[in-house]
């Protein structure tokens, strides 16, 4: 690894083959609170702080008064991406780009729908869906594990929870992929495809909310359209943004954790055999997959006041990025952090974040992973890659677009 001047975390080609762990190993050791200067790739033409150590990231994530998810200083925009997003469109409207008290109020509304007791009611249905998906993949012999299993089960689950017809789920999945992918664009850029995907998602959401307003069901979107938060209903923009967020978050991060977790097992067949012999290890395996995959690479905060962190002076309005994936490989917290270890105890990973913005869907993600991998262990004797793994070209989400795999039955 060269000097930090050679590092450009806004050059998406650095992330086209997975997360650049060596870069962050270097930063954690040499400059854990590092000012990233603007480059030709950097949106807004301004630099930002990069946090790579676990302790610093936990401290900032837990201090929302100093480090805002909305904005700070003299900024007119802000948000949780490196590039500034406009106020009243995303900032202060999108749940993950809200500060308290509005953020806390919306979370309180949503939390009962993703509580363990509530999710337990859909677990049997989810397991039946997983069995069908795995059996179909086994019949085919070869499959794209990402599309056919890792993405499909979370997509069916989120459609059920939101009250979206299952027949529409792939269309919504397609729009979310276009909006999140950077295959044909750089940071801060929008294309005709991305603008169309965002517009079509919003139009679909508006029709869905109109239908739920007159004919509500027992689903999350019906709850949202009829709810009051702090004495007032969610605005049309808040509803639209929430719908888009839940579609994307409910499928993107979990599918990547599943796919990267499966890849780790394929590369370590002895671990697969150990899991098949002793299912009591499954919960630990899921936690290690979450740490290993770290699907959300970073989130940004904005300093609301002048402060000091790690010996560096942070100014009000400065962008501060929290690199969760780096924290999850911090050797001061995780022994031998670059080793995949399903017996790791403790495993205080930050795959779901930390602080007030801890991921609402963490219980659902864990359940989906337990159900799918439990089904795979029941029915699949082994798995092997049949082609190259295709990763996403993104510094925001570490993930897989295609994972060609051959599955063999237990008796094969």
pLDDT digits (tens, 9 = 90+) for 104-128: 999 999 999 889 999 998 999 999 9
pLDDT reported for residue 412: 62
pLDDT digits (tens, 9 = 90+) for 255-270: 999 999 999 999 999 9
More confident residue, 317 or 190: 317
List the one residue out of 356, 358, 282 whose CA is nearest residue 324.
358
Least confident of 24-28, 244-248, 358-362: 244-248
d(CA 370, CA 358): 20
Mean pLDDT of 346-364: 95
Mean pLDDT of 210-218: 91
pLDDT higher than threshold 70 for residue 5? no
Q: What percent of the chain has pLDDT over 70?
A: 98
pLDDT digits (tens, 9 = 90+) for 54-96: 999 999 999 999 999 999 999 999 999 999 999 878 899 999 9
Quickly count: other Cβ atoms within 10 Å of residue 240's Cβ.
Answer: 21
pLDDT band at 4 (very low <50, low <70, confident <90, very high): low
What does the CA dihedral 175, 181, 184, 188 come to, rounded to 10 degrees?
Answer: 110
SS (H, E, C) 47-109: CEEEECCHHHHHHHHCCCCCEECCCCCCCCEECCCCCCEEECCCECCCHHHCCCCHHHHHHHH
pLDDT band at 6 (very low <50, low <70, confident <90, very high): confident
pLDDT reported for residue 188: 78
Instruction: Please confirm whether the linkage preceding 20 is cis (ω < 30° from 0).
Output: no
Average pLDDT across the chain, whole number: 92
At 407, phi and psi to the nearest 5?
-105, 140
pLDDT reported for residue 173: 80
The domains located in the chain, with CATH, are: 4-409 (1.10.630.10)
pLDDT reported for residue 49: 98
Structure tokens belonging to residue 15: 């992330």
pLDDT reported for residue 241: 86
Structure tokens belonging to residue 164: 């979206």
Quickly count: other Cβ atoms within 10 Å of residue 316's Cβ.
Answer: 15
pLDDT higher than threshold 90 for residue 228? no
End-to-end Cα spacing for the chain: 45
pTM: 0.94
Q: What percent of the chain has pLDDT over 90?
A: 72
pLDDT reported for residue 306: 98
pLDDT band at 237 (very low <50, low <70, confident <90, very high): confident
């Amino acid at each position: 690894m060269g000097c930090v001047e050679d590092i450009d975390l806004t050059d998406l080609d650095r992330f086209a083959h997975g997360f650049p762990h060596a870069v962050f190993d270097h930063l954690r050791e040499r400059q854990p609170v590092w000012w990233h200067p603007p480059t030709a790739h950097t949106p807004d033409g301004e630099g930002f702080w990069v946090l790579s150590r676990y302790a610093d990231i936990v401290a900032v994530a837990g201090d929302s008064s100093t480090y805002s998810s909305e904005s700070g200083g003299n900024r007119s925009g802000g948000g949780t991406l490196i590039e500034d997003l406009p106020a009243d469109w995303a900032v202060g409207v999108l749940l993950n780009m809200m500060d308290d008290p509005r953020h806390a109020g919306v979370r309180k509304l949503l939390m009962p729908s993703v509580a363990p007791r509530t999710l337990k009611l859909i677990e049997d249905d989810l397991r039946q869906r997983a069995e069908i998906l795995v059996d179909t993949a086994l019949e085919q012999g070869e499959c794209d594990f990402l599309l056919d299993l890792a993405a499909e089960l979370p997509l069916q689950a989120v459609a059920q929870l939101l009250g979206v017809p299952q027949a529409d789920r792939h269309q919504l999945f397609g729009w979310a992929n276009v909006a999140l992918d950077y295959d044909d664009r750089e940071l801060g850029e929008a294309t005709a495809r991305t603008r169309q995907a965002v517009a079509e998602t919003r139009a679909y959401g508006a029709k869905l909310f109109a239908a739920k307003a007159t004919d509500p069901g027992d689903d999350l979107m019906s709850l949202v359209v009829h709810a009051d938060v702090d004495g007032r209903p969610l605005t049309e923009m808040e509803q639209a943004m929430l719908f888009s967020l839940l579609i994307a978050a409910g499928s993107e991060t979990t599918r990547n954790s599943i796919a990267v977790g499966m890849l780790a097992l394929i590369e370590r067949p002895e671990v697969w055999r150990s899991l098949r012999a002793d299912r009591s290890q499954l919960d630990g395996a899921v936690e290690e997959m979450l740490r290993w995959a770290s699907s959300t690479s970073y989130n940004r905060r904005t300093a609301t006041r002048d402060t000091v962190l790690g010996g560096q002076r942070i100014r009000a309005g400065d962008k501060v990025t929290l690199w969760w994936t780096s924290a999850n490989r911090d050797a001061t917290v995780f022994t031998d952090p670059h080793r995949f270890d399903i017996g790791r105890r403790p495993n205080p990973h930050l795959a779901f974040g930390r602080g007030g913005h801890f991921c609402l869907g963490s219980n659902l993600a864990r359940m989906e992973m337990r159900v799918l991998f439990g089904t795979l262990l029941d029915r699949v004797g082994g798995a092997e890659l049949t082609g190259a793994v295709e990763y996403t070209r993104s510094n925001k989400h570490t993930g897989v677009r295609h994972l060609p795999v051959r599955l063999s039955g237990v008796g094969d």
